[in-house]
């Protein structure tokens, strides 16, 4: 098979002249009139030598040169730069380190220089890559130098701007992708040149990119609106712009902006806004519930006092009215105390009196205090625990408050004749305690709210239970302040079980000194 040469130049006269010269030298000549066409031919059938112009439409010569040198199928092919701008661009051209350089000139001299370049390549002479043949009779053209400077400037701008820029030709093929774009899509430039722009990302994004391009080329009112999509770990906003408005054949730019950080900030602000709205709703609900819960005992106290002040009553009725007032005053006191306790705990202002104590002693003491209330309601409380002490480092008063709230809660919701089973066991790093009742149970849709402030599980019609709705909130705040956890499992009609884990050495407590 004869030697094959590829001539790449948008100047058709020069291509024909160079083709004639090469055929006389025994070459079969292929012709490409722009960089994209050249790259397609190189992919189909690599030649034995390439004669390459530098300034061409679509993909210019230096990028075709880079492609040939970078691709494993073509990196061995000799390249001779043949250009009419070598006299104005000599230094940059020589920096490319091509295998030969021939400046365009008159036919006789041009043919002689091409033959010289071929001879040097055959002889393996190194001068071909260091000398521009035909340069001695040429004079630099200032206009050409200015145009080359503008071209370099525009290329530098495209390569260095932070937005990803993809140059697309009239057939929707990728001609150029700048550094920012390559980083965003995570692909080398050689993989992108010549592919449909709709294949720039992945197959799942193809439909979106097709819609973007179709809307832009269709010139609809929304065609220039940005489209935002998720690509790997980035969020990209994509728009398009004409290269030469009014000349669609010149193609367009697809512009990619990495808005990951902006999107993350927007998401954070949206989440914060949602939290603020939730807090505002909670505040409104809180005010409504507090107003209602304060109003009821205050009304009872006020009514009792008005009767005592303005009506003559007997001793027995007086004692009954004073008892009502005292009971409701106690209820108000507990409510205000719970509100203050929860506020201090959540604000981190409550006094943390850490000490080492036996949690079983505290648990038994709480059960003893509530024994009479349980007995009056016909409820049995049992405790299953090891014989030895279960020692923790914590605030004993706060832990006692947790036990009181959990057992009191179980007593409220367990019907007469029921039972409450309390267990405690020591584990490697913590103490696990459970309080299981045979009460009414909690519907599944309410389980995730039982620890919310002032939240009360709706009761069956005709059932009433006194309470502030803060007991379980306080339990959760205290246990979590000590580095523990509290959770609940429940079945309607069968009862609820609260699980409390308390670290043996509470969060923030100092480790015991090592033995000396």
Give 452-503 pLDDT, tens digit per residue. Answer: 877 777 666 555 556 567 788 888 988 988 899 999 999 988 999 999 999 9
DSSP tag of 453: T
Residue 260 host element (H or E): helix 260-310
Domain-located, residue 147: no
For the chain, the average pLDDT equals: 83
Supply the CATH number for residue 222's domain. Answer: 3.30.450.20
Domain-located, residue 393: yes
pLDDT in tens, 21-70: 999 999 999 999 988 889 889 988 899 999 999 888 778 888 889 889 98
179 and 40 in a common domain: no
Q: Of the residues 258, 292, 310, which one is the last residue of a structural domain?
A: 258
- CA 462 to mean position of chain CA atoms: 50
391 and 489 in a common domain: yes
**pLDDT for 321:** 84
pLDDT in tens, 401-448: 899 889 988 998 898 999 999 999 999 889 999 999 998 888 888 888
276 and 319 in a common domain: yes
395 and 453 in a common domain: yes
25 and 127 in a common domain: yes
Query: Domain total for the chain?
Result: 4
Lowest mean pLDDT, pick from 67-71, 200-204, 512-516:
512-516
447-455: long-range pairs with CB below 8 Å, 24+? 447/488, 447/490, 450/488, 451/475, 451/476, 451/486, 453/282, 453/286, 453/342, 454/285, 454/286, 454/289, 454/290, 454/293
243 and 194 in a common domain: yes
Q: Of the residues 307, 328, 347, which one is the last residue of a structural domain?
A: 347
The whole-number average pLDDT for the span 213-236 is 79
Supply the CATH number for residue 136's domain. Answer: 3.40.50.2300
239: its two tokens: 């728009």
Supply the CATH number for residue 414's domain. Answer: 3.30.565.10
359 and 499 in a common domain: yes
3-state secondary structure of 472: helix
The parent domain of residue 219 ranges over 161-258
Domain-located, residue 263: no
Q: How far apart are CA 138 and CA 87, in angstroms?
A: 7
**pLDDT for 437:** 94
484 and 427 in a common domain: yes
55 and 169 in a common domain: no
Q: Of the residues 299, 319, 347, which one is the last residue of a structural domain?
A: 347
342 and 424 in a common domain: no
**pLDDT for 381:** 93
């Amino acid at each position: 098979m004869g030697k094959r040469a590829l001539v790449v130049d948008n100047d058709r006269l020069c291509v024909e002249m160079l083709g004639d010269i090469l055929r006389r030298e025994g070459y079969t000549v292929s012709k490409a009139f722009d960089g994209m066409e050249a790259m397609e031919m190189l992919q189909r059938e690599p030649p034995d030598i390439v004669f390459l112009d530098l300034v061409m439409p679509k993909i210019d010569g230096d990028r075709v040169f880079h492609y040939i040198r970078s691709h494993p199928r073509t990196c061995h092919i000799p390249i001779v730069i043949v250009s009419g701008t070598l006299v104005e661009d000599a230094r940059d051209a020589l920096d490319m380190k091509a295998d030969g350089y021939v400046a365009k000139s008159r036919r006789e001299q041009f043919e002689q220089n091409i033959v010289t370049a071929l001879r040097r390549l055959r002889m393996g002479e190194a001068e071909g890559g260091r000398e521009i043949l035909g340069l001695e009779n040429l004079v630099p053209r200032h206009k050409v130098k200015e145009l080359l400077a503008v071209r370099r400037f525009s290329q530098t701008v495209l390569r260095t701007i932070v937005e990803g820029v993809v140059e697309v030709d009239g057939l929707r093929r990728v001609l150029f992708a700048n550094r920012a774009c390559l980083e965003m899509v995570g692909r080398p430039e050689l993989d992108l040149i010549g592919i449909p722009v709709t294949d720039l990302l992945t197959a799942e994004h193809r439909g979106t990119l097709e819609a973007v391009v179709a809307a832009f080329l269709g010139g609809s009112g929304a065609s220039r609106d940005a489209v935002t999509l998720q690509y790997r770990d980035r969020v990209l906003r994509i728009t398009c712009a004409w290269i030469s408005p009014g000349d669609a054949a010149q193609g367009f730019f697809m512009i990619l902006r990495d808005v990951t950080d902006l999107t993350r900030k927007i998401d954070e602000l949206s989440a914060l806004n949602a939290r603020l709205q939730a807090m505002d709703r909670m505040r409104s609900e809180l005010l409504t519930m507090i107003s209602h819960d304060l109003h009821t005992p205050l009304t009872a106290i006020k009514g009792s006092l008005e009767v005592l002040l303005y009506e003559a009553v007997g001793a027995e009725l007086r004692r009954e009215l004073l008892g009502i007032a005292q009971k409701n005053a106690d209820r108000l006191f507990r409510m205000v105390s719970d509100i203050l306790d929860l506020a201090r705990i959540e604000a981190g202002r409550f006094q943390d009196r850490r000490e080492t104590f036996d949690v079983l002693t505290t648990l038994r003491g709480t059960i003893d205090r509530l024994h009479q209330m349980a007995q009056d309601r016909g409820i049995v409380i049992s405790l299953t625990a090891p014989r030895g002490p279960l020692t923790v480092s914590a605030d004993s008063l706060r832990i006692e408050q947790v036990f009181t709230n959990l057992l009191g809660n179980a007593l409220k919701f367990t019907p007469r004749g029921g039972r409450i089973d309390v267990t405690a066991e020591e584990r490697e790093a913590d103490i696990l305690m459970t309080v299981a009742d045979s009460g009414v149970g909690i519907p599944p849709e309410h389980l995730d709210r039982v620890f919310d402030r002032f939240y009360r599980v709706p009761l069956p019609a005709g059932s009433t239970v006194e309470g502030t709705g803060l007991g379980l909130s306080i339990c959760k705040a205290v246990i979590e302040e000590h580095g523990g956890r509290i959770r609940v499992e429940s079945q309607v009609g069968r009862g609820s079980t609260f699980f409390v884990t308390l670290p043996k050495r509470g969060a923030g407590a100092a480790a015991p000194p090592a033995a000396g």
